[in-house]
Structure 1
Amino acid sequence: MEDRQWHTLSIQETEDHLDTDIDQGLTDETAQTRIERHGKNVLPEPKKDPKWLKFLRHFNDVLIYVLLAAAVITGVLGYWYDTIVIALVVLIIGIIGYLQENKAEQALEGIKNMLSPSALVRRDGKRKEIEAENLVPGDLVYLKPGDKIPVDLRLVAAENLKVEESALTGEATTVDKTLEPLDEKIGLGDRTNLAFSGTSVAAGTGRGVVVATASKTELGKINASIAEVETVQTPLIQQTQRFGKTVASVIAGVAVFAFIFGYFLRDYATAELLLAVIGLAVAVIPEGLPAIISIILALGVRQMADNQAIVKSLPSVETLGAVSVICSDKTGTLTKNEMTAQNIQLNDVTLRVTGSGYAPEGRIEHDGSIYSNKQDDTLNELLLAGVTCNDSDLFYDEETNQWMITGDPTEGCLLTLAEKADSPLHPLRIISKIPFDSAHKYMATLSVHGDEHVMYLKGAPDRLFTMAESSNPDFPVAEWEEKMTAFAKKGQRVIGVAKRTFNTSKQTIDHGDLYENIEFLGLVGIMDPPRPEAIEAVNECQSAGIQVKMITGDHKETALAIGNELGIPTEAGALQGTDIDELTDEELTQVVGNYNVFARTSPENKTRLVKALQEQGHIVAMTGDGVNDAPALRRADIGVAMGIKGTEVSKEAAEMVLVDDNFNTIFKAVKEGRRVYDNLKKTILFILPTNGAQGFVLLMSIFLGTQLPLTALQILWVNMVVAITLSFAIAFEPLEPSTMKRAPRPKKTPLLSGYYIFRILLVSLIIGGGTLIYNLYMNAGDYSVEYIHTMTLNTIVIAQMFHLFNVRVETESALNRSFFENPIAFYVSGALIALQLFITYVPFMNTAFGTTSIAATDWLIPFVFGIAVFFIIELEKLISRNIIKRK
C-alpha cells in the first residue's frame, strides 16, 4: 500500500482509498485476501550474525596478523613451543574481546512487546476479537480506555477520546482526538485524527480504520530505522585502530630493514636471523595492551554502576569522557514526566505552588509564606472544584515507591495540588456531569454542597472567559487574558476554574446551564517541571565545556520555557521539526550548532540532528526514554536511556541506562569516562617503553652482530607480566583535579600527544640503552647464555616497575603527592617481584623459558638501575613543567 498522508484525508476519502465500510468493516474473506497481500501485522526479525563470526571478528586487527605471522614462521622453523605460546596469547586476546561484546540487537524485540496481542474489530457486520497480527488495512477497530493500540488508525468516531502518546511523541500530556482533516505539514504529535500503534487509550471511546500495519506503522518505521542506523565506532576503537596500523607499519618496516641488514652485513644463519626478526616484532607489539584496556574499562563500568549508570559495552565508558554534546529528550529526562501545578491566579493575588511531580509534598504560598485556603474562600472553592470535577485517581504504588495517577495527567495534578492545601479537602458527591469533550474543551459536575447544589466547571480559559462574560458583562476579560498569557509564557498549560450555585431542586446539568450566573474562580498554571538535579547537572556540563541541547516533541513555547529554567541558552529560539524537514542534511549541519532547543520533533528529526552534530565533529550523547528516542539513541556515540520510566525499546537501543533517571548521573558518568581515558593514556605511556626498550636492545644487537639478549618467548613473558601486574595499578588512579575544567577533547585527537611520544622514546632509550650496555658487558665476560637472558629480562622488568610511579601523573612530581595514595601500586609491584622470582628460581620455568638461578647480590643491578630510571624521568618532568609554565 502506498504511503499516504492519512491525516489530510476526510473520513469519506479514507473509506474510499481503503475500499472499506466504516459502519460494517471488512468481510473475513476480504481480510484474508489483504493478509496475503500485505502480510501479518508483525515486525520483521532482524538478521543476526552467527556467534562464530562474532568471535572471529575479534582477530581482525593488524597487530594480531603480525603475531599470527610470527607463529606460522616459528612453526615452519620447528620451534613449536614458541608457536604454541604465541597462538595462546592471540587466543586469549580474542576471547577477552568476545566476552566484552554486548551488541545483540534486543530493541526490536522490545518494540514487538509493545504491540497489543488482540483487538476488537467489526468483521462480516459483527463485533469480534481477533489476534492483532491478523489486522489488515481497512479493518474497523474499536477503542476503549486501557487499550493498547495495535496498528495505525484513521479515527472515524471519537467520544471524549484521549490517547497517551508520550512513548512515541515525547509529550507528557494526553492527546484529545479529533476527526476533521488536518494540514499536511504538521508534526506527528499534532496529527490528532490518527491513533498510533504502541500508544494507549487514556479515556473515552472511539473507532478507527486501519491505515497501516507492521512495518508501515510509525512504530514500524522506528523499528526499521533502528535496524538501519549505522553503529558509530567509539573514539577509543577508532584511535586504537589507527594506533595499531601505525605500530604494524613501523614493525613491518623495521623487521624488513633488520633482516636485510643482518643477512647481507652480519654473519647470521637464515633461521637464526628469522628468529631474531620475529623476536623483534614480538618485542614491539604491546600484546598485553588489549587485556589491560579491558580491565580499566571494566573497572570503569563497575564504578559507573555504583553511581547508578549501567553501561552495556566497555568502550562506551571511555566514549563518555569524550562527549562534547548531550542531546537530551525533555519529557522524563530533564523533566519529571509528571504534570505539576506551578501557580494559581486568583482575582487579586498570584500564588506559587512548591514541590514537583505527583507526590503531595509542598505547599501553596504567597511571598514565601503559606497561603491558607481556610482564610480564602475563593482558593478553597477552586481547589474543591479541582478534586470534584475530576476523573483521575492519585495513589501511592508500593512496588515502585512512587506516587502515580490513573487518568489524565492534567486532572491528576489537580488532586496533588489539593493535597498541598493548608486545610484538607475532599471531593463532593457528583449527581450530574458533563464529561470533557475536545469539541467543547471543558468539563462540569453538579454536587451537593451544604444546603445548596454547586456546579464546578474547569477547562480551556477562553471558553470559561466567554461564559463568565455572558453572565457578567463587566467581567474583565482582557485582564484575565493578560494573566493567562503570563502563565503561558512560562511554558505552563493553563486551566480555568469556575462555579455556579443552584438550589437543591436542580438535579441535572446541561450545556445551557453554563452561560448564566457563572462565577469565575481563577487559573491554574501547570507544567511538567524540570528536575532540580537536572538544572545543576546542565550547569556543571557547561562548565566542563559540554553543550546541552534539548530535543523534544513538545511545543516550542513550552520547550523554550523549560530550557530557560534549566539554564540552557535560548537566545536563538527553537528550531521546530517542520523546519528541520525542509532542510537538507548539509543545511542542517550548518545551522544545528546555532540552536540549543528543538521542538515538535519526530523520530527522524532526532536521528538527523544527532548525525548533523556528528558531522560537525562532535561526540554526541543522546538521552531519552520513549520509543521515539530509540533510533537517535542507536545513532548517537553514546545512547543514554532512563531506567525507571524508560521503555524497554529505549533501554535496549541505548549503550547506557540511568538506574535513577537522574540527569546528574550523566555528568558523574562523564567524569568517570574522563578519568578512565586519562588512565588509559597513562597505561600506554607506561607499557610502550617496555616494548620500545626491548625492540631497541634487539635491533642494536642485530646491528652489532652480537648474541640476542632475549628469546621471543622471554619477550612475551615480559610484555604480558608487566601488563597484568603493574599496568593494573594505573586503573585505580583517581580523577585529576583539573580534569573537569578542561574542554572535551576533539574527535580526532590522537591517542598519543607529542609529549607522550617524547616520553615513550626517552624512557625506551634510557631503559633500552642501559640494558644494552649491561648486556654487552656480560657478553664480553664468561657468562652463560641463560644467565645473560635472565639478567637482561630482570633488568627491563624492574626498571619498568620503578617507572610505574613516574606515570601516575603527567608532569607533576610523583614525590609531591602522597606516595601511598594508591596502595594497589605496591601490591602489584610485590606480585611482579614474585613472578620474577618464579621464572628465575623454579626449575620447570627455567626449562620452559631458558632462564637460570642467580645470586642474591645480582638483584642489586636491576634495582639500582630502576631507581636511576625513576629519578631521571622525575628530572625530565621538572624541566617539562617549567617549559609548560613559560608558555
Structure 2
Amino acid sequence: MAENEQQKWFAKDTDDVAQALETDASSGLSQDEASSRLEKNGKNELPEAEKEPTWKKFLKHFHDVLIYVLLAAAVVTAILGHTVDTIVILAVAVINATIGYFQESRAEKALEGIKDMLSLEATVIRGGDSQEIDASELVVGDLVQLRAGDKIPADLRVIEASNLNVEESALTGESTAVEKGTEPLDEDTILNDRDNMLFSGTSVSSGSGMGIVVEVAEQTEIGKINASISEVDDIQTPLLKQTARFGRIIAMTIVVVAAIMFVIGYFFRGYEAGEMLLNVIALAVAAIPEGLPAILSIILAIGVQNMAKRNSIIRNLPSVETLGSVSIIASDKTGTLTKNEMTVTAVMTDEHDYEVKGTGYAPEGSIEKDGETATPSEDKTLYHFLHAVKNTNDASLTKDDDDNWTIDGDPTDGCFLTLAEKAEEDIKDLEVISKIPFDSDYKYMAVLVDVDDERYIYMKGAPDRIFERADSVFDGGEGRDFNESEWEEKMTERAKQGERVIGVALKKVDSSTSEIDHEDIESGMQIIGLAGIVDPPREEAIEAVKECTRAGIQVKMITGDHADTAKAIGHQLGIGDGEHALTGREIDKMSDEELDDAALEYDVFARTSPENKLRLVEAFQRQGKISAMTGDGVNDAAALKRADIGVAMGIKGTEVAKDASEMVLVDDNFRTIVNAVEEGRRVYDNLKKTILFILPTNGAQALLIVAAILLGLAMPLTPVQILWVNMVTAVTISLALAFERLEEGAMDRPPRDPNAPLLSGYYIFRIILVSVIISMAILAVNISMLNQEVDTAIVHTVTLNMLVFAQLFHLFNCRSEIDFAFDSNFFKNKAVFIVSAILIALQLLITYAPFMHTLFGTTALSLDQWILPIALGFAVFVLIEIEKLITRTIVRKKGKTD
C-alpha cells in the first residue's frame, strides 16, 4: 500500500485516492487484505494515557520546600530521641499532604472523553459485500457506507454523496450542518472548508454517502487533537508560582539564619551541641508557616463551594484564584456567546422590512413593522410568507419537561416554525398535496397546498435558486416585474450583518393540479420575500462583555465561522469594531513573533482550526497575559488545557472539553464567567489577608528565639508548642478571613500583575511591625519571669497564650487592609466570632487538660496570669489600628494629589 502520511486527500480526485490506497472504489478491500493491514498497522483506536498511581499523587503533596525543612527537623529530633516532637512534626506534614490530596486531586479523563466520541460500529464493503464490523477494525482503504444518524468511524474521503449533511460543530465550531460533496479542493483549503472529507467523531445529520478510509487512530483529526492534549503541559497558576517562590525565599532564609544562630549559640553563648540543635529546630519550626499550605487549600475549597452556588464548577483548586487575575478571555462563539439556536431576525418583502423580536426557539416575541405589531391578515405578502415557511418544512417544535423549546430536524426549518408562532394570528398547518423535498443538489424545497380556496406552490430555498426562477414580485395583486439587482442588494445588506439569507416564493396554479415536480417551478415564480437568520448573541453575554471591559479584561472571540459573520456577531457583542478579523489561514502564515502582536491587536478570529486556537492561547501567554479559554467542542480541548484556565460549557459542551478544562459553566452562561472572576478576586484578596494574619506569628516566634539565643536565655517555647501555635491559628481563626466579603471597587480595578510579589511593601512592613511588637513584649515578660525564677512550664504556657491572644486580636485588624476595623461589615462575617470562640476553647484545653500537659509541656494558669495575654492582644489591636489610620491618611492624601 502506498505511504499515506501527510497526504492531502481532499485535493485528490476520488480515483486517485483509491489508486493511492490500493483499494477498489466499488468493491472495497478483500477480507484478507483488510486483515493484513489491521495486523500490520494496528487497530483504529486512540492510545490511552498512562494513569498516575494514587500513592504518587499523594506523595506529590510533600513536594514543597517548606515541608522539606520540616521533615529535616523531624529527622533531627528523632536522632536526638525527642519522640513526641518527631511525631507532632510528622503529623503536621501528613495532615497538610492529606488536605492537599483530597482537595486538589482530580482524574485526568480528557483522553477517555475523546474515546467515548468514537463510533463503535461501521458498515463496510469488503470483497463487494456489505458487513457490520467493529469500528476499531477499520483499516486505511476500507469502503464505508453512511446514512443519517451514523457516527463517522474514521477520516474518510467522500466518493458518493446524496444530500449528505454532517454535524461537525464539536470538531470545527461550525454552527450548522455541513453539506458534503465529492469534488477535489485546492491544496490550501482549511479544515473547516474541506467539504469532501468526513472526520472521525462527527455524525451524519441527513442524507447518505460513501467514503474511503484515509486515516485511522491517531492519524485522524480527532487523533491529532488527542495527541495535542497529551503534549500540552499544565500551566502553573499565578498563586502556585508566587507561593513556590515565597516558600523558597523563606526556606533559604531559615536555613541561613539557623546556621548563623547555631554558630553564635555554640561558640559564643556556651550552649551544648545537642541543646543548640534543638534550639535551631525550634527556630526553623517557628519560622515555617507550616499551616499555610493547608489554610490556602481550605480557603480555595471554600471559594469552590461559593462558585458552585453561582453555577461554576471548579475542577482544581488553584483555578479559583487564577480567575481573579485573568486579563484575557478567549471565547468560542457558537453556544457560548451565542445561543446556538437559529433565529429569524428580519423579513424583507418588496414594500416593507419587518423586524422579528425574540431570540432562540421559544415562540416568544413579535413580528413588527415600523415599531408596531404586524397583522398577517391585513398584509397579504406577510400572510403568504408565513404560510410558506411554516409548510415548506420538515422540522417540529416541541417543549420538553423543563419548559425548554427544542427543534427536531433542521435548525433552519425549525426557526421558521418559531417565526410563524410569533405571528399575532394563527398560521395554519396546511395539507401538503404534493412535495419536492429539499436536496442539497438544488437547495430548495417546494410544496403544493390550498390556501383560502386557492391552490399555490410555495417554495423556500437559497436566494440564488429563487431569483433564477422568479418572473415577478408578489404584492397581493398581479405583481410587478422582478429586478434581481434590487433583491441582490437586500440579500447583501443582511449578509453583511452576519445573517444567513433564505428566499421564499409562490406560484398560483390551477385547482386541478395534484402533483408538482421541478419543471413546475422552473419559471413563473413570484418572490414573496427574504428572511435573515442568525445564531443570536446571548443578551446576558453582551452585558458580561461590558463588565469584563470595566474590569480590565479583554474579550477575544475565536470561532470557526466565516469572517463576515464573526465580525458582525462580534460587533453586536461589543467585541471588535465590526471591520477587522484575523482568519485561520492568515494565522497559519504567521511566525510566532508576528502572531504575538496580532493576537493582541485583533479581537475577532474566524475560520480557526484547533492548531490556531492553541497558538493564539500560547501567544497571549508569551505576552504575559493570564488567559482563560472558553469552549464546548473537541476542537477546543487542546487550547482549554493549555490556557491558564479552561472554561467549558456544562450543557452543550462535550465531555472532552469538560475534562480538559479547569472550570465548567453549569448554565452555559457567559455571564457566569464574570461572577467567577468576581469570586476569584475576592478569594485572592482574602488569601493575602490570611497571609498578612499568619506570618506575624512566625515572625514573632522566630525573633523571640533569635533574641533568646543572642542573650543566652532559655528557649521561651519548645518545638511542639510552636507547632501548636502555628496550627491552631492557621486552622481556626485564619479560616474566618475566607468568608470576608468582596471589597468595594474590586471589579473596577485592572487584573493584578501575575509577576507581582505575593507580599507588597506595605504587607512586609505590617508583618515586621506586628512581629516586633509581639516578640519584644513577650521577651520582656519572659526576662521578668525568669528573673523571678518562675517555673518553666508556667513561662511556656504564658508565652504560648500571649502569642495566640495577640493573633486573635490581630485577626480583627486584618479583616480590612487599611480601613477601620469597626465598619459597617464588622458583624456581617459571623465566622470571625465562631472561630474566635473555638480558639479560646482550644487554649483553655491546652492550659487545663492534664493529657495536653503531658503532650505539650504546659500547665494550668491562675486567673491573674491571664491578664498578660489579654493585655498584649488588646495593645496589638490598638497599635495596628493607629498605624492603619496613619496609612489611610497618607494613601488618601496621595490619591487626591495624583
Name the TM-score, length of structure 2 as normaliser. 0.97
Instruction: Give the 5 Å matches for 1:182-193.
Output: 182-193=185-196
Q: Which AA in structure 1 matches 2:619?
A: A
Q: Distance in 2 between matches of 1:770 and 1:207?
A: 86
Say if 2:268 is the partner of 1:261. Answer: no
1:451 deviates by 4.2
Give the stretch that moved more between structures: 727-736 or 290-299. Answer: 290-299
Say if 2:354 is the partner of 1:347. Answer: no
Q: Which residue of 2 aligns with 1:303?
A: 306
3-state secondary structure, aligned to 2:532: strand
Say if 2:574 is the partner of 1:567. Answer: yes
Question: Which of residues 439, 442, 445 is equivalent to 1:443?
Answer: 445
3-state secondary structure, aligned to 1:445: strand
Q: Distance in 2 between matches of 1:571 and 1:353?
A: 22
Q: Which residue of 1 aligns with 2:431?
A: 429
Q: Which residue of 2 aligns with 1:662?
A: 669
Q: Which AA in structure 2 matches 1:286?
A: P
Q: Which AA in structure 1 matches 2:867?
A: L
Q: Which residue of 2 aligns with 1:90?
A: 93
Q: Which residue of 1 aligns with 2:865?
A: 858
- Tell me how many residue pairs correspond in the alignment: 886
3-state secondary structure, aligned to 2:50: coil
Instruction: Give the 5 Å matches for 1:620-639.
Output: 620-639=627-646
Q: Distance in 2 between matches of 1:846 and 1:623?
A: 56
What RMSD, in angstroms, separates the aligned Cα atoms of the two structures?
1.4
Compared CA separation, residues 880 and 571, structure 1 to 2 (3 A): farther
Instruction: Give the 5 Å matches for 1:537-686.
Output: 537-570=544-577, 573-686=580-693
Q: Which AA in structure 2 matches 1:424?
A: D
Give the stretch that moved more between structures: 66-75 or 471-480. Answer: 471-480
Q: Which residue of 1 aligns with 2:41?
A: 38
Q: Distance in 2 between matches of 1:292 and 1:417?
A: 55
Confirm or deny: 8 A CA contact 1:572 1:594 kept in the other structure: no
Q: Distance in 1 between matches of 2:189 and 2:358?
A: 35
1:33-55 CA distance string (max 9 Å, x none): 11122211111111112111111
Instruction: Give the 5 Å matches for 1:307-322.
Output: 307-322=310-325
Q: Distance in 2 between matches of 1:229 and 1:593?
A: 22
1:373 deviates by 1.3
Say if 2:23 is the partner of 1:15. Answer: no
1:366 deviates by 1.8
1:507-529 CA distance string (max 9 Å, x none): 33333222322110000000100
1:469 deviates by 4.3
Instruction: Give the 5 Å matches for 1:783-862.
Output: 783-862=790-869
Unaligned 5+ runs, structure 2: 474-478
Question: Which of residues 437, 461, 464 is equivalent to 1:462?
Answer: 464
1:588-613 CA distance string (max 9 Å, x none): 11221001100000111111111110
Give the stretch that moved more between structures: 205-214 or 97-106. Answer: 97-106
Confirm or deny: 8 A CA contact 1:470 1:516 kept in the other structure: no
Instruction: Give the 5 Å matches for 1:466-481.
Output: 466-469=468-471, 474-481=481-488
Confirm or deny: 8 A CA contact 1:570 1:597 kept in the other structure: no
Confirm or deny: 8 A CA contact 1:203 1:407 kept in the other structure: no
Confirm or deny: 8 A CA contact 2:180 2:195 kept in the other structure: yes
Q: Distance in 1 between matches of 2:202 and 2:832?
A: 55
Q: Distance in 1 between matches of 2:339 and 2:824?
A: 43
Q: Distance in 2 between matches of 1:600 and 1:841?
A: 72
Q: Which AA in structure 1 matches 2:517?
A: D
Q: Distance in 1 between matches of 2:556 and 2:57?
A: 36
Q: Distance in 1 between matches of 2:516 and 2:27?
A: 35
Question: Which of residues 265, 282, 287 is equivalent to 1:284?
Answer: 287
Confirm or deny: 8 A CA contact 1:178 1:438 kept in the other structure: no
Give the stretch that moved more between structures: 800-809 or 425-434. Answer: 425-434
Give the stretch that moved more between structures: 20-29 or 562-571. Answer: 562-571
1:299-323 CA distance string (max 9 Å, x none): 1111100001111111111111111
Instruction: Give the 5 Å matches for 1:365-376.
Output: 365-376=368-379
1:114-154 CA distance string (max 9 Å, x none): 11111111111111111111111111111111111111111
Q: Which residue of 1 aligns with 2:247?
A: 244
Q: Which residue of 2 aligns with 1:388?
A: 391
1:356-412 CA distance string (max 9 Å, x none): 1111111111233211212112112111111211222222222x5422112221111
Q: Which residue of 2 aligns with 1:419?
A: 421
Confirm or deny: 8 A CA contact 1:345 1:524 kept in the other structure: yes
Compared CA separation, residues 120 and 432, structure 1 to 2 (3 A): farther
Question: Which of residues 116, 120, 123 is equivalent to 1:120?
Answer: 123
Give the stretch that moved more between structures: 136-145 or 595-604. Answer: 136-145
Q: Which residue of 1 aligns with 2:170?
A: 167
1:327-366 CA distance string (max 9 Å, x none): 1000000001111111100111111111111111111112
Q: Which residue of 2 aligns with 1:708?
A: 715
Q: Which residue of 2 aligns with 1:326?
A: 329
Q: Distance in 2 between matches of 1:385 and 1:22?
A: 42
Confirm or deny: 8 A CA contact 1:570 1:595 kept in the other structure: no
Q: Which residue of 1 aligns with 2:476?
A: none
Q: Which residue of 1 aligns with 2:274?
A: 271
1:185 deviates by 1.8
Confirm or deny: 8 A CA contact 1:325 1:549 kept in the other structure: yes
Q: Distance in 2 between matches of 1:571 and 1:470?
A: 35
Confirm or deny: 8 A CA contact 1:339 1:358 kept in the other structure: yes
Say if 2:110 is the partner of 1:103. Answer: no
3-state secondary structure, aligned to 1:583: coil
Q: Distance in 1 between matches of 2:760 and 2:291?
A: 21
Question: Which of residues 128, 142, 145 is equivalent to 1:142?
Answer: 145
1:642 deviates by 0.8
Confirm or deny: 8 A CA contact 1:384 1:425 kept in the other structure: yes
Q: Distance in 2 between matches of 1:194 and 1:402?
A: 34
3-state secondary structure, aligned to 1:277: helix
3-state secondary structure, aligned to 1:806: helix
3-state secondary structure, aligned to 1:606: helix
3-state secondary structure, aligned to 1:791: helix
Confirm or deny: 8 A CA contact 2:349 2:529 kept in the other structure: yes
Name the TM-score, length of structure 1 as normaliser. 0.98
Give the stretch that moved more between structures: 506-515 or 555-564. Answer: 506-515
Q: Distance in 1 between matches of 2:622 and 2:835?
A: 43
Confirm or deny: 8 A CA contact 1:572 1:595 kept in the other structure: no
1:95 deviates by 1.0
Sequence identity (%): 58
1:458-482 CA distance string (max 9 Å, x none): 1111221221148999312111111
1:867 deviates by 0.8
Q: Distance in 2 between matches of 1:389 and 1:716?
A: 78
1:861 deviates by 1.2
Give the stretch that moved more between structures: 449-458 or 868-877. Answer: 449-458
Question: Which of residues 689, 692, 700 is equivalent to 2:699?
Answer: 692
Q: Distance in 1 between matches of 2:437 and 2:252?
A: 76
Q: Distance in 1 between matches of 2:779 and 2:467?
A: 94
Question: Which of residues 725, 747, 750 is equivalent to 1:743?
Answer: 750
1:572 deviates by 6.4
Confirm or deny: 8 A CA contact 1:574 1:598 kept in the other structure: yes
Compared CA separation, residues 426 and 127, structure 1 to 2 (3 A): farther
Q: Distance in 2 between matches of 1:428 and 1:123?
A: 47
1:874 deviates by 0.8
Q: Which AA in structure 1 matches 2:844?
A: L
3-state secondary structure, aligned to 1:322: coil
Confirm or deny: 8 A CA contact 2:444 2:462 kept in the other structure: yes
